[in-house]
Amino acid sequence: MKTTAHPDARLALTTKGETTTVDLYSPEGLAMVSDLWLKLSAEFKVMYEPTWMGVRIIQLPHDIVQVQELIWRLQPDVIVETGVAHGGSLIFSASLLELMGKGHVIGIDVEIRAHNRANIEAHPMKKRITLIEGSSVAAETVAQVKALTRDAKTVLVLLDSNHSAAHVAEEIKLYGPLVTDGSYLVVMDGAQGHVSDIPRGKAEWVQDNPLTAIRQFLATNPGFVMDPHYTRLHVTSNPEGYLRKLTSEEIAARGRAAAE
């Protein structure tokens, strides 16, 4: 199928008898197409297609590129990732650290399946990966991660395990303090709420999603701010998910500004 779309093209989307029409080549058109592509990607599981160095990563291509930008800019000593699945994200992070010549990745999952563990342990990037099997919110798991990050100058945290609002809120509470000043806490799959209306979606996703936990956290934690730079490609599973930890100097400056 070839679609012709001249400069005057318009988009019309009809849902439950109501039609929204926008100019295709407009900010509104870009927003509509991006939102629809996210829904179609979720419905047809497009994020399951990419692999990194032979291992399935389960991320949209736009998000892979954006996380790469962040890792390369931060040059972290340790990357903490909750949620292992096939291990592609761990391999991805480890490969970037390998290019930098430093650092390691900590991968946490309540269950690391035998075949996935075998693939990760046989991979050339395993030398930069530490696997922890256990609940990401269990005290013993958090204690292990704290010990492994104690001497790190820069720590980046990526949360991508159970996507319920309650679980993500608990992960943010436990792992947020591990993020070093100027680094990031990345909360993935906040778009779960945006795709609740697709055929395979679930009604409870409207509220029970990572974005709910993100907004609750930011409302009561002024030490973190949402950075829109890493969602500028429009199609993302991680809306509002890049949370930068302010430095002590930034916090002090904000305090002075508020007092004036």
Q: DSSP per residue over 118-144, as a string?
A: HHHHTSGGGGGEEEEES-TTSHHHHHH
Q: What is the pLDDT of residues 8-19, one digit of tens each?
A: 999 999 999 999
Considering only residues 176 and 2, tell me which one the structure prediction assigns the higher pLDDT: 176
The model's pTM is 0.95
Q: How far apart are CA 41 and CA 159, in angstroms?
A: 21
**Using 50, 70 and 90 to split pLDDT, how confident is the model at 259?**
confident
Predicted local confidence at residue 258, as pLDDT = 77
**Using 50, 70 and 90 to split pLDDT, how confident is the model at 3?**
confident
Predicted local confidence at residue 253, as pLDDT = 84
Q: What is the pLDDT of residues 146-159, one digit of tens each?
A: 999 999 999 999 99
Residue type, 73: R
Strand 104-109 to 129-133 pairing: parallel
Q: What is the pLDDT of residues 122-155, one digit of tens each?
A: 999 999 999 999 999 999 999 999 999 999 999 9
Q: How far apart are CA 201 and CA 203, in angstroms?
A: 7
Predicted local confidence at residue 222, as pLDDT = 92
Looking at the chain, which residues constitute the CATH 3.40.50.150 domain(s)? 52-253
**Using 50, 70 and 90 to split pLDDT, how confident is the model at 251?**
confident
Predicted local confidence at residue 19, as pLDDT = 97
Percent of the chain residues past pLDDT 70, beyond the cut:
100
Find out whether 42 and 201 touch, Cβ atoms under 8 Å.
yes
Q: Is the Cα torsion angle 49, 53, 59, 61 positive or negative in sign?
A: negative
For domain 52-253, say whether CATH 3.40.640.10 is its number.
no
Predicted local confidence at residue 2, as pLDDT = 80
∠ CA 127-107-111, nearest 5°, is: 120
List the structure tokens of 54.
């032979």
